[in-house]
Every structure is written in structure tokens, then in C-alpha cells.
Amino acid sequence: MAKKRKNGQGTVRERKDGRWEGRHIVGYDENGKPKTKSVLAKTKAECIEKLKKLQAEYGEVSPFKIKPDMRFGDWINYWYENHSKPSIRPTTQKGYEEWIYVHTIPALGHIKLNKLTQADCQKFLNEMKANGRKIHRDTKGPGMSEKSVRSCYHMIRMALERAVKDGLIKKNPILGVKLPPTEQKEMKLLSMDEIQRFLIQAKEEGMYELFLLELTTGLRRGEILALTWDDLNFKTGELHINKQFTPAGGKIILCEPKTKAAFRTIVLPPPMVELLKEYKKGIFSPLMFPSRIKPEQPIDPGYVRKRLQQILQRADCKKVRFHDLRHTFVTMSLEHGMDVKTLSSIIGHVSSRTTLNIYSHITSEMQENAAANIDRGIAKAEVEEKETETHAETQVFEPVKLPRRRPGTGYIKQLNDHLWEGRYSPVWPDGKKHSRNVYGRTQEETEAKLADLIIQMKAEIAALRSGKATEYPDGVSPKKKQLAAYLIENPGVSNKSYIARQLGMAITTVHKYYDEVRAELAALAVS
């Protein structure tokens, strides 16, 4: 009689065709039935070796049956893997896994599913609120936030609702527990003066288009970073929001918007459309806001967050999050008379109720102001006017000039009293930097030439990336080429100062390449 294999080692048998087959349980379906994988081999020993590799790949799965008296920890793990995980976003998965494996299973996992009580759930949630924080306890205190406790509650509730639906328990034990009140955090909004200063400084630092579009639309950060030029109809101004970038596991992945309501089309005002049309001339990427280093990828959300804080500080604005720019847009829209239903569709809320709940304080203030206006205008009542501060005449904000030029704008310097040099040195698809220079008699002239040069070089790089062009720059300095052409036509001229004046070139540049060019020309003459 063949020796029986231990539990968890799989099964091995000889088939009628003489081959050996090994099977291993790799999971369970929705009905609790095992799912298996098989391996085939000519000999038993070979089959066992293949089976060991299969087991190492999938790991050992603890066999259990879906039944009322199973441990709650086994049930919530099964529910998450089979019912929840396949249908939620990676960022949501990360949160669920923390609630399940860090908090819920250690506290409630040992209790049988059909023995879990409301008191057990209440005690668990109370402990989370009072002493549930696992990290940052020194800075944030031992207790979890009200939002975190509520998130964990909703996750457990869904898992237990599934158990009720499957007939494992008669009623959901977590229903009726007392939850901590919802935190109503004060929104930080930019004032009109702050918005003006912020945008002026953003233009100085090359982030104007992104932040202006945000203040014009109220898009979520992941939505605005995922925008492509195909999403915008320049003729109608229609902007289609149908995707978003989401950080997950140290990477940025492209996924669907947050909700079905987040799939939407909004119409941009004509000035915004014209601005983006002009901005597009210098962007050689399908993405509207690509990374300056890797144009095929979006700007990193962390970089956007960092740049936002830097610009706010230099513009003397209060510290706000990127999401607060969305709040600022909503507030301005409500204050200027936009109805809640229209606003809800623009910002991608599931319903107007969601918008009203989040921005109830704004609508309340608007109602108070309306009532006061009615009293003054109709009832002629004496209403105490709010004290208004007298402001001095508004001064034009001058942006902070940075010692370094912003990325992607090249380099410029003054060579002498009558000559300026501009240089752009991007990394080409071959992985090397190739520089080109322009020269002008004034800084303004050189800046204009440099801007044209950058657009030209970006177009060449984009053509190489797309396969429309195959020839890489030869790496030879345009100034060296210019000097070589002059010496070919004027072989007898050797005065470097004179050559520099004739070419409008710095004397240092002539000195740099003169001997090298003469030697190369001499070699060509010999050959």
C-alpha cells in the first residue's frame, strides 16, 4: 500500500497513460470548493519535484470550509480575497489590508463567525479610537482618527453583510454600534489676493498652466495628472475626464476614476483653452503635464506637492494642500451663484447631497448673507454691519526671482558687453546629453532664440521617440561647425580676435576650438 502523503503536500498519482500527476490546492472558490493546479512528469520522483516548485510558487493554503462556526479571521480573509479585492482600486486594497491584517484579525480573528457579537465589535472600535495607532504614536497620539475608525467599521460591515447573504449568520452583529462623530475639519482656502499672488509666482516657476487649470476645474490631483491632449477638444473646449493616476506600492499606475460619477465632461472657458493651445506648442508628449525628465510619464504627485508648497511660501500664501485648491474652486463657484447640481457634476460627486454635506458651511454662510440682504432690502430692518477692514491700495505682486532657472528652460549668460549666450542640454533618447547654443546682442534677443531652440530640440527628441526620425545629433558644437566653415572659406585668417568679431562669437569660444579645427582640416587635406 502506498504511503499516504501529509496534509499540505498535495497528491501524487500514476495515470493510465503511464505518466505521473501531482495536484496542489491553490485556493478556494466562492462556494468554498478547492481550486487546484496540476503538474505532469514521466517519473514519480520528477513529479514530486515539480509539485514542490508549484507549492513554493503558490504557498500552502490552509484548508477550511465555509461554515458558520469558522473563525471570523478566516471569513474576513476569504471575503477580502474573493469578494472585495478583485473589484477595488490598489490604493483601497492597501487600506483594507491594513484594517484587516493589522487591526481586525489580531483583535477579533479568533472569535467564531456565528459567535461574534455587537459588544465584541463595539469594544474593538472603542479600543481603536482610544489606543489603536500602531505608528507615529509619539507625534499623533495613541488613538486612531474618527475617519480611520469609521473606515474600518464600514469594511467589517460589508464583510458581515456578505456572511448574512450567504446564510452563515442570521443578522449583522456590527449594526447598531456607536461610532465616533464625523470630524468636520476646517477647510483652508486661498483668498482672491492669495490666488493672484500664487498664480504670478507659479508662472515665474513654470507651473502656471497646471495650477490655473486646477483652480478653473477643481479636478482631483490624479485626474489632472492623467490628462492627455486627446482628452481636450480645442474647438468646443470640452475636457473629458475618464482616468486617473494613483500611487500604489511606490509606483504610479493608471486606473479608472474614483466613482462612476467621476467619468464626466466639462467645458473650459475660452481663455483657458487658448492658454493650453499655446502651452501645447512646447509639450512633446501625449500627456498634458508630463515629467520633464521622462516625457512618457506624468509629473510625480510628490513633486507637485513639493512645488505647490514652495510656490505658496514664495507668494506669501497660507499653507494648503493640493486638494484645498479643489475646495477653493468649489467655494468660488458657489459664491458666484453656480447651482449645486451643476457644480456636483463638474467636480465628479455622486450626488448633490455629497456636495452639500461637504460644503454645508459655505451654503449656510450664503443663506445667512441672503437673509441679511432681504432684511435690508425688503423689511428695512436695521442689520448690524460687519466691521470691514480698510485696506491700503493693492500693490502689484512681484514674483520671487530664483537664483536658478526653472527646469527645462536652458541656460543663459552674458559673455561680454555686446554678446549673450543661451544653451540647452537635454538628454536624448540615446541616453546622452547633446547641447546646442544660440547667441544674441541682448538678453531679450537671446531668450527668444533660446525658446525657439528648445521647441525645435524637443520636436526632434519627440520624433526620435516616436520612430519618425532615426538620426541622432552628432554631438558637435554648432559653434565649432561655424568656425570650421569660416576657416574653410578663409584659410589665411589666423587672428582669433578678428575671427570672433566676424562670427559674432566669444573670443574664448574661438580659442576653445581653433587649434582642434585647424588640425582636423589639415588631416582632411592630407587624406
What is the DSSP track for 447-475? Answer: HHHHHHHHHHHHHHHHHHHHTS--PPP--
Judged against a pLDDT cut of 60, whether residue 113 lies above it is answered with yes
**Among 116-130, 163-177, 513-527, whose mean pLDDT is lowest?**
513-527
- Half-sphere exposure (Cβ direction) of 112: Cα atoms closer than 13 Å: 8
Q: Give the single-character DSSP code of 265.
A: E
* Cα-Cα-Cα-Cα dihedral sign, residues 164, 170, 174, 175: positive
Q: Which is more confident, 475 or 429?
A: 429
Q: In this predicted model, what pLDDT tens digit does every residue of 476-504 receive, in sequence order?
A: 677 877 888 888 888 888 898 888 888 88
State the pLDDT confidence band at 425, using cuts at 50, 70 and 90.
confident
What is residue 59's predicted lDDT score, i.e. its pLDDT?
Answer: 60
Q: Is the pLDDT score of 76 beyond 90?
A: yes
Q: Based on the fold, state whether residues 424 and 492 are members of the same structural domain.
A: no
Question: How would residue 237 be classed by pLDDT, with cut points 50, 70 and 90?
Answer: very high
| 422 and 360 within one domain | no
Res. 363 pLDDT band, cuts 50 70 90: low
Q: Dihedral sign, CA of 333, 334, 337, 340?
A: positive
* Residue 351, domain CATH: 1.10.443.10
Of 320, 347, 370, the residue that ends a domain is: 370
What is the pTM for the complete model shown?
0.63
User: Which pLDDT does position 384 carry in this prediction?
Assistant: 46
Angstrom distance (rounded) from CA 189 to CA 145: 23
- Give the torsion sign (CA, 24, 26, 29, 33): positive
Provide the 3-class DSSP secondary structure of residue 437.
Answer: strand
pLDDT confidence of residue 383: 41
Burial class (CB in 10 A: 0-12, 13-18, 19+), 164: middle
pLDDT score recorded for residue 125: 94
Compute CA distances 322 → 129, 192, 257, 304, 520, whole Å: 28, 17, 17, 8, 57
Q: Which residues pair with 20 in a beta bridge?
A: 14, 41
Does 125 reside within a domain? yes
Q: Which residues of 183-202 are buried (b: 16+ CB within 10 A; e: fewer)?
A: eeeebebbeeebbbbbbbbb
217 pLDDT band, cuts 50/70/90, is very high
Reading the block at residue 60, the C-alpha cell is 500552502
Between CA 298 and CA 305, with CA 302 as vertex, the angle to 5 degrees is 105
* Residues 290 and 196 placed together within one structural domain of the fold: yes
pLDDT in tens, 508-518: 888 888 887 88
Residue 239 and residue 354 in one domain = yes
State how far the alpha carbon of 26 is from the alpha carbons of 8, 12, 112, 458, in Å: 10, 15, 24, 51
> Where does a domain end: 419, 435, 466?
466
Taking only the tens place, the pLDDT of each residue in 295-337 is 888 988 889 999 999 999 999 999 999 999 999 999 898 888 8
Q: Which amino acid is at 420?
A: W
- Judged against a pLDDT cut of 90, whether residue 229 lies above it is answered with yes
Q: Using DSSP bridges, classify how beta strands 436-440 and 419-424 pair: parallel, antiparallel or unpaired.
A: antiparallel
Q: What single letter denotes the amino acid at residue 311?
A: I
381 lies in some domain: no
**Residue 275 — very low, low, confident or very high, per pLDDT cuts 50/70/90?**
very high
Measured in degrees and rounded to the nearest 5, phi and psi for residue 42 equal: -80, -30
Mean pLDDT across 30-43: 77
pLDDT of 410 higher than 60 = yes
**pLDDT at residue 183 greater than cutoff 50:** yes
The mean predicted confidence, pLDDT, of the chain is 83
- From 347, 370, 393, the end of a domain falls on 370
Indicate whether 338 and 361 sit together in one domain: yes
Residues 244 and 352 in one domain: yes
Q: Which domain holds residue 488?
A: 478-526
Task: Tell me whether residue 271 is in a domain.
Answer: yes
Distances (CA, A) of 431 to 294, 298, 474, 513: 11, 19, 13, 25
Q: Are residues 355 and 441 in the same domain?
A: no
- pLDDT > 70: percent of the chain: 84
Q: Which of 6-10, 258-262, 283-287 has the highest mean pLDDT?
A: 283-287
Question: What cell numbers appear for 157 in the block?
Answer: 460591515
Residue 510's contacts (CB-CB under 8 Å, 6 or more residues apart) are 483, 496, 499, 500, 503
331 and 434 share one domain: no
- Amino acid identity, position 424: Y
Per the structure, the count of domains in the chain is 5
Residues 58, 94 contacting (CB under 8 angstroms): no
What is the pLDDT averaged over residues 466-476? 69
39 and 96 co-located in one domain: no
Q: What is the pLDDT of residue 352?
A: 82
Instruction: Indicate the helix (H) or strand (E) that contains 178.
Output: none
For 233-251, letters b (16+ CB in 10 Å) and e give eeeebebebebbbbbeeee
Does a structural domain hold residue 283?
yes
In 268-317, alpha helices (H): 270-280, 301-314
User: Do 90 and 49 sit in the same domain of this protein?
Assistant: no
Q: What is the dihedral of CA 55, 56, 58, 64, to 10 degrees?
A: 50
pLDDT digits (tens, 9 = 90+) for 37-69: 889 998 998 988 888 888 777 665 555 578 899
Cell of 32: 468554498
Question: Same structural domain for residues 214 and 144?
Answer: no
Nearest CA among 245, 280, 240, 297 for reference residue 263: 240
- 3-state SS of 23-40? EEEEEECCCCCEEEEEEE
Longest dimension (CA), the chain: 104
Highest mean pLDDT among 14-28, 121-135, 404-418, 419-433: 121-135
Cβ neighbourhood burial of 145 (10 Å; 0-12, 13-18, 19+): middle
Specify the CATH number for the domain of residue 124.
1.10.150.130
H/E element, 240? strand 238-241
Asked if the model's pLDDT at residue 381 lies above 60, the reply is no
Determine the pLDDT at residue 427. Answer: 80
Which pLDDT value is given to residue 375? 53
The grid coordinates listed for 130 are: 482610544
Can you tell me the distance from the alpha carbon of 418 to that of 127, in angstroms, rounded to the nearest whole number? 75
Q: Is there a domain that residue 472 lies in?
A: no
Report yes or no on 109 lying in a domain. Answer: yes
How many Cα atoms within 13 Å fall on the side-chain side of residue 398? 2
pLDDT digits (tens, 9 = 90+) for 120-154: 999 999 999 998 888 878 888 888 888 889 999 99
Residue 386 counted as domain residue: no
Listed range (5-9, 21-25, 384-388) with the worst mean pLDDT:
384-388
Asked, for residue 399, whether it belongs to a domain, the answer is no
Answer yes or no: do 314 and 273 share one domain: yes
pLDDT for the residue 100 = 93
Mean pLDDT of 232-259: 87
